[in-house]
Amino acid sequence: MAEVRLENISKHFNKVIAVDDFNLSIKDREFVVLVGPSGCGKTTTLRMIAGLEAITEGNIYIGDRLINRLPAKDRNIAMVFQNYALYPHMTVYQNMAFGLEQRKAPKEEIKQRVREAAKILGIQDLMDRRPKQLSGGQRQRVAVGRAIVRKPEVFLFDEPLSNLDAKLRVQTRVELKKLHERLATTIVYVTNDQVEAMTMGDRIVVMKDGLIQQVGAPLELYNSPTNIFVAGFIGSPAMNFFEAELVHSGERLSVQTDSFRIDLSPKKAALTEGYSEKKVIVGIRPEDLLEAREHVTGKTIQTTVEVVEPIGSEIYVNVSAGEVPLTASVDRKARVKPHQEFVVEPSLDYLHLFDIRNENTLS
């Protein structure tokens, strides 16, 4: 059983609170991603699970065991470091065998397990080489191999792809995901790349300044972010945000800026019940801003194109609606040019409304 439970975990470094009241229950075989900007506490949390940092407050359980004071080597976990931490004076084989040798496993067993892991990762031909003779991608595999040889209860990954070039990163992502299916073990994965988080995690934990912002499945976070931070962090290009006034006109509720007005659907309007402020922050993703043929007040926004970024599969159009900058993601065949007029229609069902005081989503 390899459930991991973190209860009220906090970490203080002198006066700095790196992790604040972190609560999470990870199910057996789940792939959980901790994601957030630098300094949000995700790596510190991971290291507390590993036993490389002492816990200031709270409890961590692996299965039924309380592991707070257990030294790292007795926790039956394996970790892949950001810089791989391969032993430079040992061959690939020795690097992978090290953990088992320390646990006094019989030689035959070690040989067999290392070979098995090497095969899975495709590094059988590199066994006699030293780390400095390997490419970045190869080193990364050895680091992963070293971890899987141990057959631990939990795998910990600390930004393992950040040192790979973009193409290799995409490739390796897929392979790690396949590995997870094959090994069927609990994984806790730290990254600052939201694409990695979205594509790999069963569940994602978004962190900021030591606090959990939201926990949920990828699409849950994408569709129903609980605050502006999560909404802006997940999804690329990022969600558009602008301040608007809530305007009632009879039955109709609209959000209005200096240059345009959008009438809200009844469903969305209902979200503002109990909200007493006059202003609200509106969020709409670029992919939810559609190109419209003509302008209809209350439904569409008239904009001027500033910059056009064709990335091949689609086109990112950076426009300005008066003082409000927006990014729309449109079809790759669209004909858009800078300085021309461009009308966008926000998809009403995908509009997000945020409390202007605390930046939480209105619900």
Which residue is it, tokens 């995908």? 350
Residue with Cβ nearer other proteins (6 or 77): 77
Specify the stretch interacting with other proteins by CB under 8 A; choose among 73-81, 117-125, 299-307, 315-323.
Answer: 73-81
Nearest to 236 by CA among 140, 163, 144, 313: 313
Separation of alpha carbons 244 and 275, rounded Å: 14
Q: Which residues pair with 9 in a beta bridge?
A: 22
- Is 225 an interacting residue with respect to other proteins (CB under 8 A)? no
- Is 66 an interacting residue with respect to other proteins (CB under 8 A)? no
Is 172 within 8 Å of 137 (Cβ atoms)? yes
Is 18 within 8 Å of 41 (Cβ atoms)? yes
Q: Which residues pair with 345 in a beta bridge?
A: 290
The interface mask with other proteins, positions 147-166, x = CB under 8 A, is ---x----------------
Is 287 within 8 Å of 349 (Cβ atoms)? no
Is 308 within 8 Å of 336 (Cβ atoms)? yes
Specify the stretch interacting with other proteins by CB under 8 A; choose among 86-94, 184-192, 193-201, 287-295.
Answer: 86-94
- In the complex, what is the shortest distance from the CB of residue 37 to other proteins, in angstroms, rounded to a whole number? 22
- In the complex, what is the shortest distance from the CB of residue 79 to other proteins, in angstroms, rounded to a whole number? 5
Separation of alpha carbons 40 and 212, rounded Å: 9
- In the complex, what is the shortest distance from the CB of residue 120 to other proteins, in angstroms, rounded to a whole number? 19
The interface mask with other proteins, positions 122-151, x = CB under 8 A, is ------------------------x---x-
* Helix (H) or strand (E) segment spanning residue 137: helix 136-149
- Is 52 an interacting residue with respect to other proteins (CB under 8 A)? yes
- In the complex, what is the shortest distance from the CB of residue 82 to other proteins, in angstroms, rounded to a whole number? 8
- Is 27 an interacting residue with respect to other proteins (CB under 8 A)? no
- Is 88 an interacting residue with respect to other proteins (CB under 8 A)? yes
- Is 211 an interacting residue with respect to other proteins (CB under 8 A)? no
Separation of alpha carbons 46 and 22, rounded Å: 12
> What are the structure tokens assigned to 342, written together?
């461009």
| Site of interaction with other proteins (CB under 8 A) | 50-54, 69-75, 77-79, 81, 83, 85, 87-89, 98-99, 102-103, 146, 150
